[in-house]
Amino acid sequence: MSINVAQRRLLQEYRSLTNNPPEGITAGPISEDDLLHWECLIQGPEGTPFEGGVFPAELKFPNDYPHMPPSMKFLGDVFHPNVYPSGLVCISILHPPGDDPNHYEKASERWSPIQSVEKILLSVMSMLAEPNDESPANVEAAKMWRERRSEYEARVKTSVRASLGL
Amino acid sequence: MQVFSDEAVNVPDSTDWLGTPLACLMPVEQAFRCHVCKDFYDSPMLTSCNHTFCSLCIRRCLSVDSKCPLCRATDQESKLRGNWALREAVEAFTKSRRAILDFARAPPPALQSPTEQSNSPTKRKATEMDGAKEEDQETKRPRRSTRSTKTRAAELTAAILQEEEDTTPSADPDYVDQPPDDGLVACPICLTRMKEQQVDRHIDTSCPGSPQAAASKRQAAVAQTPQPPSTFPSFNNRLGQSTQPQKPPERLPALAYSMLKDTALRKKLSELGLSTHGSRQLLEKRHKEWITLWNANCDSSRPKKRSELLRDLDEWERTVGNPGGGSRIGGIGMTIGGGAGQGPMARAQAAGAEIKDKEFDGKAWANRYGDSFGDLIKQARKGIKRQTLDGGANSGESAKEKKKETEAETEKEDTPADLLPRTRPDGDGESSVAPPTPMDIVPPSSPPRLDEQGGDTGMDDEQQVIPGTPEKGNSKWETSQQQKQQPPIAGDA
């Protein structure tokens, strides 16, 4: 079977990520049989309560990637205003092109075919450092982050330690 | 699936330059790559906002979003213009890439002895290194084995052939004939060349009127008179080529789908020789994709054949076009197959391909055709009981075995799919009708369309065999059963 556009582009990205890995990020397809299903590891950014943690996540790509964005889901517990309790990540770069019907996001922040896995993961890293509480995915986390920052940080640190088995 | 192990290693990437002394070529290579597919530009097109993408990439982007993916400026497909200088640059770069990379990866010449240096050092080193690399990879990935070397050889030959093609004179329709420097002038009407003072008389008396007429006249003259030894051989060549019918393929216009009724859209599709199966939404998507593929192909310097484009569309249909259940693959496959499209074999093949598809939804399939499976199982049981009775007269033992089998099967009522193949009598060469396979009994490639918008009775409905209707759907099974019962059954083995 010849490989289609999405698969070829993902191979290209995988090649690029292995040859020139960005700091704090590892990503690749889980198995040879399904290039549309990746797993990645993100380091918690320094200077944030997530520091020291390593967060596994899965990326699922649609058949018409890169015209449509993948979805990203943390596999462990991530207490964050922009991460649903299920682990699903909610940031503008992962939202399909076009204008947000709720006008929270500008079209310029949303997915475009020129984006890549690397850019998604870098955006997620910066999201961990700077949550966007305008359209929270986890209301409890957003409220706590806004109103009781120290409690939020303590809770995140505890869960990071727990995830490392400390 | 070997895709990953073979291709992942062979996909060239701009990061290949990292770690070589020519790491500065990485941004150069990146500049030759499309921002959308990250591959080298294929038929690069310039947008109104002066960004460049592959023709196919930007056409797809615009059909999704009508915006430039880089700056999000609104744009239209019709405003795209070819970036030919970049096309040439990319071609030149990709041709020399391998050699430069080999050169960059070879150890510095200082390490080599002078004799080696005289013996074209870079090439030798490069091949040595390649060999070493391949061995290395082979130990790491045992699956790579011989296939990869074969494909590599095939790639090499393909590349060589490609190069040979490139060196043959190109049939560029935009080629402008340079006036030969022969001291003559061209007639302003028919472009025939002659001495300046002859022109007036020529126009008054012998001018044929149009350049084509003159050309054919000249051609005839060339054919009659022996070729002049060497002066303008290439000129004659070009003439010969220009007279061949060489219409560049015309771009297809986009359709305003909201203005088209289902039947009209189906008509458009069948005019284009495409499948008319599927939901309204799929029909639109298919038409759109075909236009994208077709128009992008028009931009290419080496346009593909129509059959290749149809294959691309088929590929698209299997993956992007129909992510849910691949139940409409048959449609397109049949169109490509031509006349065989309507036969039960083609339908069975299509259904077979569908079942083999990775994303095949077995549960939905079982639900959808559960009734007809049930009917078939009943009939099969009846047949077997009758067989058991017949066989009992001949040999008691085989009858017993069969009874056991039937009993075992009755216990397993809930798994019709499992039962079906086992109830089928094996190994009879006499029957002209093939034993029914799951492919034969399944309905044709497009199942009852529940998702149809609007109560459209498509023309393909008549060709469909509705599952569960006994007179049509099961007739084959019955005949084959009857035929099988007439000859005495020899036993199971």
Q: In this model, does residue B241 exceed pLDDT 90?
A: no
Distance from CA of B359 to the nearest CA of A (A): 11
Identify whether A90 is a catalytic site residue. yes
Output Rg (C-alpha) for chain A, integer angstroms. Answer: 16
Average pLDDT score over residue span B193-199: 75
DSSP codes, B162-193: HHHHHHSPP--TT--PPPPSSS-EE-TTT--E
Assigned token pair, B487: 């000859």
| Contact check, Cβ <8 Å, A63/B323 | yes
Residues of A in contact with B143 (CB under 8 A): none
Identify which of A3, A9, A98 has the shortest CB distance to residue B38. Answer: A9
Q: Could you tell me if A69 lies within 8 Å of chain B, comparing CB atoms?
A: no
Using CB atoms, which residue from B7, B65, B315 is nearest to A11? B7
Secondary structure (DSSP) of B375-388: HHHHHHHHHHHHHH
Residues of A in contact with B67 (CB under 8 A): 97, 107
Q: Is A22 on the interface with B (CB under 8 A)?
A: no
In DSSP notation, A94-158 reads GSPSS--TTSSS-GGGS--TT--HHHHHHHHHHHHHS---SS-SSHHHHHHHHH-HHHHHHHHHH
Burial (CB < 10 A; 0-12, 13-18, 19+), residue A84, is: middle
Element (H, E) at A40: strand A34-43
Task: Quote the CA–CA distance of A62 and A67 in Å, as a whole number.
Answer: 9
CB pair distance less than 8 Å for A13 and B38:
yes
Indicate if the pLDDT at residue A32 is higher than 60. yes
Q: Is A116 on the interface with B (CB under 8 A)?
A: yes
Q: Check A113 against B69: CB less than 8 A apart.
A: yes
Q: Which two tokens stand for residue A135?
A: 């359209």
Question: Any CB–CB contact under 8 A between A150 and chain B?
Answer: no
Residue B363 DSSP code: H
Shortest CB distance from A8 goes to which of B1, B39, B70?
B39
Global pTM reads 0.55
Mean pLDDT of B471-479: 46
Q: Which strands make up the sheet holding B81-82, listed edge to edge?
A: B52-54, B44-46, B81-82
Contact criterion met (CB < 8 Å) for B35 and A6: no
Rounded to whole angstroms, the Cα distance separating A154 from B168 reads: 72
Cβ–Cβ gap B320/A2 under 8 Å: no
Partners of residue B82 on adjacent β-strands = B45
Contact B15 A20 (CB under 8 A): yes
Would you place residue A84 in the very low, low, confident or very high pLDDT band (cuts 50, 70, 90)?
A: very high
| Distance separating alpha carbons of residues B434 and A38, to the nearest angstrom | 45
Q: Residues B321-375: pLDDT tens digits?
A: 665 443 333 333 333 333 333 444 544 555 555 565 555 667 776 776 777 778 8
How many beta-carbon pairs below 8 A join chains A and B? 85
CB contact under 8 A, B61 and A2: no
Catalytic residue among A27, A35, A59, A90: A90
Report ipTM for this prediction.
0.85
User: What's the pLDDT band for B479 if we cut at 50, 70, 90?
Assistant: very low
From the list A5, A15, A68, which residue is nearest B11 (CB)? A15
**In this predicted model, what pLDDT tens digit does every residue of B373-423 receive, in sequence order?**
788 888 888 887 777 666 555 544 544 554 555 555 444 444 444 444 444
